[in-house]
Structures are given as structure tokens and as C-alpha cells.
Amino acid sequence: MAVQPQKSIDLIWPELTSRFYAPCKSVTFYSYLVFGVIICGGSGVLTVFLKSEWSMSDVSAALLGYFPALFGAAVLEFTTEHQQWLRSLGLIGLCVLLAVAFIAVKTEEGWQLFWALTGTVLGILFWWVANGLNTRFDDVQPQSALGGDPSGTLQQSSDKEWRK
């Protein structure tokens, strides 16, 4: 009797849950998210927000330039995955981006800001999930009780007196 392979639809929810909760206690992840993604990435939005004297159309236009970049970064992160269904999940996220961006562009000023803010929140959430299991955010390196990494190179001593 042949064993049926597991279907990807059954794997999506546990994968998304683990990706969402994995970085919750990582200082490196939070610092990258706040400083890199929100402050530095959103500096153009902040500049427009401060200079536009609270104009909704200017702020929403700046957000319309910001959240597609977040989605794009998350989609690129998903495309590096080994599983095909995770790469497909990134493409589904890209379709959500296009739908939200299209709705935001085609609506009037008040709703445009709402849809741009919605896209920004979804973009940050999508970036969070895409990078949740990324090993570059592992900020605690385990140390062996027996010493350092056995596959590492040995240090050489500059002391040559032992040869005499």
C-alpha cells in the first residue's frame, strides 16, 4: 500500500504559526525590525508626514511607496525557501499586495489613507512571517561544555621556545 505524501495545505498553518512565534524573544530581530525596516525604511514616510502638515494625500502617497517595498522584501525572502509551497505562499502574498495597492490607488483620499495603512501593517506582518525562521536573527550562539567548535581551525602560538 502506497503512502500518500502530506499535502501542502495541511502544512501552511503550522508553518505560519512557527514563523510568527519564533522571533518573539529575539532582541536582534526586534532591533532589525524597528531600526532597519520601520525607522530607516520608513524615513521617507516620516519626512513626508512631518513636512506635509498632516496632509492625508501626501502621507498616503508616501505609504503607497513604502508598503510595496516591504512586501517585495518578504516575497524575496520566501523565494529562497526550499519548499515549493513556501515560494507559492510568497506569490500569494504578492497578489494580496497588488490587490491592496490597486484598491488604494483607485479610492478617494480618506479611504486611500486607510488602504495604505492597511497595506503597511500587512507588509510589516508579512515581512515578520517571512523572516521568522531566518538564521541571521539567531542572536545566541550555543557554547559547548567541552570547549569551542571542533571543526574550527586551531590557533597557532607565536612561542617558539618549546622547540629547543
Task: Dump pLDDT digits (tens) for 98-123.
Answer: 888 888 888 888 888 888 889 899 99
**E-strand stretches of the chain:** none
CA dihedral for 113, 118, 121, 126, sign (positive or negative): negative
Q: How confident is the model at residue 2 (pLDDT cuts 50, 70, 90)?
A: low
Count the helix, strand and coil residues of the chain and give each as a percent rounded to the nearest 5: 70, 0, 30
User: How distant is the alpha carbon of residue 156 from its chain centre?
Assistant: 41
Averaged pLDDT of the chain: 82
* pLDDT at residue 35, rounded to an integer: 92
Question: Angle, nearest 10°, between helix axes 56-79 and 43-51?
Answer: 180
